[in-house]
Structure 1
Amino acid sequence: MNSSSQINFSSQIGLRQRVVELAPGFAISLVAATAASFLSEHYGAPVMLFALLLGMGLNFLATDSKCKAGIEFTARTVMRIGIALLGMRITLAQMTALGWQPIVLVITLIIITISVSIIVAKLIGFQKLFGMLTGGATAICGASAALALSVALPNHPQKEKATLFTVIGVSALSTIAMIVYPMIVQWLELSPQQAGVFLGATIHDVAQVVGAGYSMSTETGDTATVVKLMRVAMLLPVIVCAAMITRMQGVASTGKRPPLLPWFAVGFLMLACINSTGFIPAMVQGGMNELSRWCLVISICALGMKTQFKELATVGIKPILLMVGESIFLVVLVLTLMHWLF
């Protein structure tokens, strides 16, 4: 056997061992994600919330030698894959179809909401990065944004706890918004297009935006979905800002600075560009979107396994008030911007 064959054989053995090492933790995360999806479909609550709760119920597995490596891999790498695949939801044509006003509205609300969240978080005694995490989740796309920002932000002993709390909070608030915000639309007597802009700009998660929009009318649902996808597109520049903050915090333990644009953000951008060409069949696009959803749900289960519910119970009332306040502020801000722009 020559040297190249030996290297190839050794790499195959190493890959096989790695798969065997990761399989138990990934498998239990997949089973929990399947259960979470079943419960979500039958009881109407956010799948991310069920995934977190089921994961936390299995947190004893995170210390098991057989499952630990797979759970760590799933919570980290599978999450990054899911975030990158979000790019398949977006096309430039979708964002330009409604004109310049929604684009200006989305950019403005994201900058202001995140900035105010950082300031308020600092004033009430939290780190600025926690304000960026909750503000980004509120302003962009809910749980997906919280996960993406958490990956890009500097490591901190409380980061996973803060991320889990943010995902739980934003999922619960998004469900409430799906029920309450259409009532606000009817009370304000907004037109179908205005209603779509309002719902798409204020509700946190994509699924809840779709549910609220199409419950009113097809035109409202279409507009709400496009405006929401504009917010999802803003995930990329916000991730870049978070990566810049991480670089300014110092070098990693390996002595290397983290990349300015993480690989999952590059993947997000490339897939969004490819999707904008219009050459991607609807079946492929739908399959990629479903794969993205599953990756995120599976990784949330793994993330839940790495924490304990009693730790989240110690966060106190301030973070809850911060997230509720951010949601209320977003509603007022969007209505104000709509008054000036439309």
Structure 2
Amino acid sequence: MSAAAIAAVHERGRNLFPGVVASLIAAAAASFLSEHYDAPVMLFALLLGMAMNFLASDPRCKPGIEFTARQVLRVGVALLGLRFTFAQIAALGWEPVLIVVVSVVVTILVSVAAAKALGFQPIFGLLTGGATAICGASAALALSAALPSHPAKERATLFTVIGVSALSTLAMIAYPMVVQLLELETVDAGIFLGGTIHDVAQVVGAGYSLSQETGDTATVVKLMRIAMLLPVILCAAMITRAQGTAEGGQRPPLLPWFAVAFVALAAINSTGWISGAVQHYGKDLSSWCLVAAISAIGMKTQLKDLASVGFKPIALMIGETVFLAILVLMLLRFTG
């Protein structure tokens, strides 16, 4: 590497350092609060970031905050591939796979249609529907990274993260009672919990609160939903290409690099070549990247922007959550 290249890298690092460090500090504080007060870490990260939004206008911090909100986010999404293996999916048979594929596709299509009916852009329905159907805040961030630029995209992303975090926490409390009320068998209970609750942590909490087998089944079904992130990102990328150029005037790739990395890591993880320790550190790094990214996005957003969203987006996300739960129950009856 030439001296000029080294100097350019050094200068780039100096420009990014303050904003990246600010995002990491907010992420560390959010993780501490989440561990001690048992609430979603993404929600804490978002709120802390919004409390520090004055930094986004500081010329020393702005480049690093922008970098964290975009590039660090994409690294975190790519590392999600280390969360599952194809063998885990195959072990449960075809019924859960069918339920996951149908529920994800139908929920997203219904969400897009409902968003249009309520007067929103279809992309907002794709964002909220994907977050509801796949993996909550992580899916919202991944889809946001793949969707075309729009003045309201970051506000929509923040609202979606808040909504799925709150609804996922409520589902973790309510859905085990629904399982007991409907007298679902152990495996069916795991499929229902894993197929409907938005975030991984809440799926684990709800599943293992009932039994070990229910928790194991719910976790694997949830990982199946995470696997659906790749085709949905591909669809989002195709929408981006169809709508023209991306930021900077360049035509976006058909498949974003972080989506390719996601499936590559999942494939490598499925071979068993990656040790348990590496998997563990990779998952932790993914979580840190995503939490830091949502902190940075929070820093870029004014609270008054979220306060102006109105009742319709809230109704849309509640409707999507209820629809997904009913759909999975119907599919369980059909395949049972």
Q: What is the TM-score normalised by the length of structure 1?
A: 0.97
What is the SS of the residue equivalent to 2:285?
helix
* Structure 2 counterpart of 1:81: 75
Check conservation: 2:42, 2:165, Cα contact below 8 A.
Answer: yes
What is the SS of the residue equivalent to 1:307?
coil
* Structure 2 counterpart of 1:222: 216
Aligned residue pairs total: 336
Q: Return the alpha-carbon distance in structure 2 between the equivalents of residues 185 and 309 of structure 1.
A: 37
Q: Return the alpha-carbon distance in structure 1 between the equivalents of residues 247 and 2 of structure 2.
A: 30
* Structure 1 counterpart of 2:112: 118
Q: Return the alpha-carbon distance in structure 2 between the equivalents of residues 65 and 307 of structure 1.
A: 16
What is the SS of the residue equivalent to 1:141?
helix
Q: Return the alpha-carbon distance in structure 2 between the equivalents of residues 262 and 328 of structure 1.
A: 31
* Structure 1 counterpart of 2:309: 315
1:112-141 per-position Cα deviation (integer Å, ceiling 9, x unaligned): 000000001000100100000000000000
1:254–1:59 distance in 2 versus 1, CA, 3 Å: closer
Q: Does 1:70 align with 2:68?
A: no
Q: Does 1:180 align with 2:164?
A: no
After the TM superposition, which segments of 4 or more aligned residues of structure 1 sit over 6 Å from their partners?
Answer: none
1:10-29 per-position Cα deviation (integer Å, ceiling 9, x unaligned): 11111111111101001011
Q: What is the TM-score normalised by the length of structure 2?
A: 0.99
Structure 1: tracts of 5 or more residues without a match: 1-6
Q: Does 1:104 align with 2:109?
A: no
* Structure 2 counterpart of 1:242: 236
* Structure 2 counterpart of 1:295: 289
* Structure 1 counterpart of 2:321: 327
Q: Using the TM superposition, give the Cα deviation of residue 309 of structure 1 relative to its aligned residue in structure 2, in angstroms.
A: 1.0
Amino acid at match of 2:82: M
* Structure 1 counterpart of 2:55: 61
Q: Does 1:17 align with 2:6?
A: no
Aligned-CA RMSD value: 0.8
Structure 2: tracts of 5 or more residues without a match: none
Amino acid at match of 1:203: I
Q: Using the TM superposition, give the Cα deviation of residue 191 of structure 1 relative to its aligned residue in structure 2, in angstroms.
A: 1.2
Q: Return the alpha-carbon distance in structure 1 between the equivalents of residues 220 and 144 of structure 2.
A: 25
Among 4, 13, 23, which residue is 1:29 paired with?
A: 23
Check conservation: 2:148, 2:246, Cα contact below 8 A.
Answer: no
What is the SS of the residue equivalent to 1:140?
helix
Q: Using the TM superposition, give the Cα deviation of residue 88 of structure 1 relative to its aligned residue in structure 2, in angstroms.
A: 0.4
1:158-217 per-position Cα deviation (integer Å, ceiling 9, x unaligned): 000000000000001000100000000011111111110000000000111011111111
Check conservation: 2:20, 2:65, Cα contact below 8 A.
Answer: yes
Once the two structures are aligned, what percentage of the paired residues are identical? 67
* Structure 1 counterpart of 2:45: 51
Q: Using the TM superposition, give the Cα deviation of residue 256 of structure 1 relative to its aligned residue in structure 2, in angstroms.
A: 3.2
* Structure 1 counterpart of 2:164: 170
Among 149, 156, 167, which residue is 1:155 paired with?
A: 149
Among 243, 266, 270, which residue is 1:272 paired with?
A: 266
* Structure 1 counterpart of 2:196: 202
Q: Return the alpha-carbon distance in structure 2 between the equivalents of residues 271 and 253 of structure 1.
A: 28
Q: Return the alpha-carbon distance in structure 2 between the equivalents of residues 24 and 30 of structure 1.
A: 10
Bigger CA radius of gyration: 1
Q: Return the alpha-carbon distance in structure 2 between the equivalents of residues 70 and 210 of structure 1.
A: 34
Q: Return the alpha-carbon distance in structure 1 between the equivalents of residues 317 and 250 of structure 2.
A: 34
Q: Does 1:128 align with 2:133?
A: no
